[in-house]
Amino acid sequence: MSTPTWKAFHIHFIILLCFLHSSFSIAISVGDIGSLIALRNSLVQRRDVIPSWFDSKISPCKWTGIKCDGPTVHHIDLSCTFLHLDLPFPNRLGEFRYLKHLNLSHCALTGRISANLWKLEDLETLDLSDNRLIGLLPPSLSHLKSLRELVLDDNSFSGSIPSAIDQLKNLIELSVHANSFSGDLPAELGNLQKLQSLDLSGNFFSGYLPSSIGNLTKLLYFDASQNGFTGPLFPEIGNLRMLRSLDLSWNSLTGTIPMEVGTLTRLNSLNVQNNNLNGAIPATIGNLGLGDLQVLNLQGCRFTGNVPEEISKLTWLTYLNIAHNDFEGEIPLSFGKLSNLVYFLAANAGLSGTIPGQLGNCKKLKILNLSFNSLYGPLPDGLAGMESIESLIFDSNHLSGPVPDWISNWKQVESIMLANNYFSGSLPPLNFLSLTLLDMNSNMLSGKLPAGICNAKSLAILLLSDNKFTGKLDNTFRKCLNLTDLVLSGNDLFGEILAYLGGLQLVTLELSKNRFSGRIPGQLWESKALMEISLSNNLLEGHIPMDVAKVSSLQRLQLDNNLFEGKIPSSLGELKNLTNLSLHGNMLIGEIPLQLFKCTKLVSLDLGSNRLSGPIPKSISKLKLLDNLVLSNNNFSGLIPDEICSGFQMVPLPDSEFTQHYGMLDLSNNEFVGPIPNSIKQCIVVTELLLRGNKFCGTIPVEISGLANLTLLDLSFNSLTGPALPQLFSMRNLQGLVLSHNQFYGSLPDNLGSVMPSLAKIDLSNNRLTGSLPSSIFGIKTLTFLDVSMNSFSGSISLALGATSSLLTLNASNNLFSGTLGDSLSNLTTLSTLDIHNNTVAGSVPSSLSNLAALTYLDVSDNNFQGTVPCNVCGIVGLAFVNFSGNRFTGYVPETCAKSKPCLPNQPDFPSIGGYPPSPVLTRASVWGIALSATFISLVLLVCLLRWRLLRQEAAVLDRGNGKLVTAIEPESVDKLLGKKSKEPLSINIATFQHSLLRINLAFILSATENFSKAYIIGDGGFGTVYRASLPEGRIIAVKRLNGGGHLHADHERFLIYEYMENGSLDMWLRNQADAVEALDWPTRFKICLGSARGLAFLHHGFGVVMLELVTGRAPTGQADVEGGNLVGWVRWMVSSGREYEVLDPCLSSSELCKDQMFGVLAIARSCTYDEPWRRPTMQDVVKLLKEEVKKKTGLHGSC
């Protein structure tokens, strides 16, 4: 070829190439590449996430996540696992008509999917998971004919799955996990014959699982957990023979597990946890052992029957969870064959019997949880073989016996939890290498704390509370360098709290309810890690040191019920993290330091039962988080500041280690004055408002009704006046309403029951209320206690009683109720106490009264009842007190109440003695009619003698008491039950130890005391005033005029008559109330015990109280800090707290020998005051025991 020709050809070829390149570029630019460029431009705000898209040197088909097939884009993968786009869903994506793969997962895309996306008919994979997309799935998704994978997990899609989804014939995977889809599943899902994976978990689907799912015979993975599916599990599930994993947990499925489940022999995991499935586990479950089932989770259903033996055939099982079911019977012994088992969880499964030792054959077992069952017996030795065990949890069963030594052989164990059982004996050596948690709370372990406990070098949490460990701390924990939680409360440990505890890494230190004494070591306050210190209920003393502020991390400080004295240290205000402070039950004095209110994180503050005084500072307003304030039983005074409600505004969430009681505002038993402030309505979260025992006046502010969360309101023992319940006073959550001992007047609102429908207790006693009881009260279904005594209520008491079927106590005594009792009482089947004495109720006592099977106390005395006492009333099992006196009964007393004797009309009243019902004496005509039977008279005299001797001793013991004497009786005769009002002067026979009976009448008593002139007063006790009176023959007697409770009874006058004791009372000698009286020394007191014992052989409990007085020097009543408020309860509490040395009278400076004898008398006194009479020794035994004390070489007349 010539040169010109070659040149011409070359030029034409170049021109052709340029033309072809130009044409190709034009074609691409107007196709997918143009769409890519447009897509890039829409993402320009996040060019930092995909920088290659904005590099002009890089071809579009080589951009990150882009793959082209010739001129078309078939792959877009912008999965941004680490870098989010945070942009709306790109609308341009629908322009890539030939796109096969689209992955935009983890891109934080928002908004809705563009409609043109559903037109990509070639799309095979669509993954939009982990975005913030919303909206519905449209029926047009059926256009994606080629789609094989649809993954929409972790978005906010809603609505239902469209039935058109069955058009996706090629679909292999459908996953919509963690969205907001709802409604029923379409049955058309069963048409997706190629489907291998179906994940519907974490939505709001409901209704039945469609049985058509059984058509998906290629399904390998099915997860429908965490939805609202109901109904039974379809038997067609047995068709899914290829299934490897089935998860139906956290739904509301019902019925039983179909036996067809046994055909799913390829299952690797079966999870039906937390459903309403019930019945027995089918035996066919053992067929799953033909495959390699590794996970079986049956937790939280209602399965019953025995745990099937067939589970032991599942030899590949690594995880077995049958917890929280209603199984019965024992753990199958064959479970020892599960050699691959790693986790066995059976807490609260209803299991009983003993723990099979065969479980020790499960050598791979790491977690064994059998807690909260009814397992009993010792730990079997076979468990020693669990060489891989890491966590053993057997708490809350009935296991017993010693903790075996072989547990120390478990080299890999990290936690052992055996709390709330009956293990006894001492703890074995703890030679564990990996142990971090040991929980032996609430057992019966005893002896000293094991000296080698710190051999477990990794031990961090040690919980040994509520056992019987004794001894001192010594150096037991000195080497526990990793210990963070030490809980030893509720044992019998004593001695001092040692300083080295402050040098450990402790976060929690609980030593409460022991007998630790002395002062808190200063080194404890040097700790940098302590968050909780609980030393309550010990014998710790001294001042709370200023150094407490050094524990800057402290959140909870509980020092209640100790012997701390002095003032509250102002340095507490430096504890900025303090949330809970309790100094309750000490001897602290002074005012609340203002610095304390710098603890702005305080949630609970309890300073009750101390000797604190002064006003509540206004700076309490700084405690914005406060929701629990107890200042009761102190000497605080002044007005309640409005700022007290600056807290009580929110309920904090309790942390995992401390359950916070919130909502209590307790200012009771102080000296607060003035009105209850209207600002109390701002205490929004108050649940218990306790203001009793102060000097509040004025009316109840209507604003209290704004406390919507209030459940208990106690305003008793104040000087409040006005209406008890103002109109519009609505408190629908109130359960307790206590307004007794005030000066409320007027009537109760008619709608009381409807505005307070949750009331369980109403106490309106000792006020000046009038009118009738509103019938709505008896419509309160939850009401169990109603006391309206000592008011002026009138009308009928029985109009609506029948509606209150839950009432336990009804006290309507000392009012003006009238009418008849009626049969409405018969509906009060739970009533145990009925007291309507001193009213004007008439008619007959209804026979239906005998239907009250729970009745223990019945007093209808001093009314106008007539007729006969109903049969079978006293036949009620458990009826301990009954009083029919002061009425107009006739006829015979039922034999169940007393021996059958005639009850004659027109009988005069006989005085009520010692709390017993009045006893009628016979009229003159009756006496002549019976011919003055000598035998009968002798019997009456003997009864009177015994009764008055008993009364005399009761009066001596209770002379200083605060309440009226109440005596439970077993009725023995008609004269204890019946009486009739009379205008005749009352008289009574009295007897002294040295003299015979003498008849005394009221006229003589009035004359001998000159109408109870102050000149004759010789004493004043808790039950009344004592007067000196002279008998005609020169004998001197003492007459007690009672404040309450009947003895000699004439109209409203009550007297107790006994022999005058010229040397005064035992109370005077013990408490030295007269300047000239010297305190009795111990030998004299002991002689009083011995001499009194011989004369009081019939008075066990009362004599025990006298002995307690002699040993303690305390009054028999007035111990307000303990239950019952009496000396017996106080001594029991002190002894049980290990504080018996503080029981002895501190005024006695006795030797140790003498104290031994005092403790001996204390033990005898305690045995005489047992609540159960059968446990008390006879007085002959008491005399013998006291004589044995004499024989002891205590130097009674020497060093003692």
Residue 817, judged by CB atoms within 10 A of its CB (0-12, 13-18, 19+), counts as buried
User: What is the rounded CA–CA span in Å between residue 419 and residue 413?
Assistant: 17
Residue 100 labelled as part of a binding site: no
User: What is the rounded CA–CA span in Å between residue 213 and residue 211?
Assistant: 5
Residue 1168, judged by CB atoms within 10 A of its CB (0-12, 13-18, 19+), counts as buried
Max alpha carbon distance in the chain (Å)?
176
Does residue 264 contact residue 290 with C-beta atoms inside 8 Å?
no
Q: At what angle do helices 1179-1191 and 1082-1095 cross, to 10 degrees?
A: 150
Closest CA to 1023 of 1040, 1005, 1039: 1040
Does residue 609 contact residue 1133 with C-beta atoms inside 8 Å?
no
SS3 (DSSP) at 1064: coil
* Residues in CB range of 638: below 8 A, 6 or more apart: 614, 615, 616, 672, 673, 674
| Rounded-to-10 torsion of CA 699, 700, 702, 708 | 180
The CA distances from residue 419 to 217, 394, 407, 490, in Å, are 49, 7, 16, 14
- DSSP H or E run through 882: strand 881-883
Closest CA to 886 of 1049, 686, 1009: 1049
State the Rg of the chain over Cα: 42
Does residue 362 contact residue 341 with C-beta atoms inside 8 Å?
yes
- DSSP H or E run through 722: strand 719-723
Amino acid at 542: G
Q: Which two tokens stand for residue 391?
A: 């966590």
**Tokens 């109903």 label which residue?**
870
Closest CA to 36 of 7, 16, 59: 59
Q: How would you classify the pairing of strands 987-990 and 998-1001?
A: antiparallel
User: What is the rounded CA–CA span in Å between residue 74 and residue 59?
Assistant: 16
User: What is the rounded CA–CA span in Å between residue 433 and residue 1053?
Assistant: 79
DSSP class of 1110: H
Does residue 270 contact residue 249 with C-beta atoms inside 8 Å?
no
Q: How many CA atoms lie within 13 A of 801 on its CB side?
A: 26
| Rounded-to-10 torsion of CA 419, 424, 426, 430 | -40
SS3 (DSSP) at 649: coil
The CA distances from residue 376 to 330, 466, 591, 1195, in Å, are 11, 20, 54, 53
SS3 (DSSP) at 159: strand
User: What is the rounded CA–CA span in Å between residue 456 and residue 451?
Assistant: 11
User: What is the rounded CA–CA span in Å between residue 594 and residue 728?
Assistant: 39
Does residue 1165 contact residue 1143 with C-beta atoms inside 8 Å?
no
Residue 923, judged by CB atoms within 10 A of its CB (0-12, 13-18, 19+), counts as middle
User: What is the rounded CA–CA span in Å between residue 36 and residue 46?
Assistant: 15
User: What is the rounded CA–CA span in Å between residue 786 and residue 756?
Assistant: 14
Strand partners, 892: 902
User: What is the rounded CA–CA span in Å between residue 816 and residue 792?
Assistant: 6
Binding residues for ATP: 1040
Pick out the residues of the known binding site: 1040
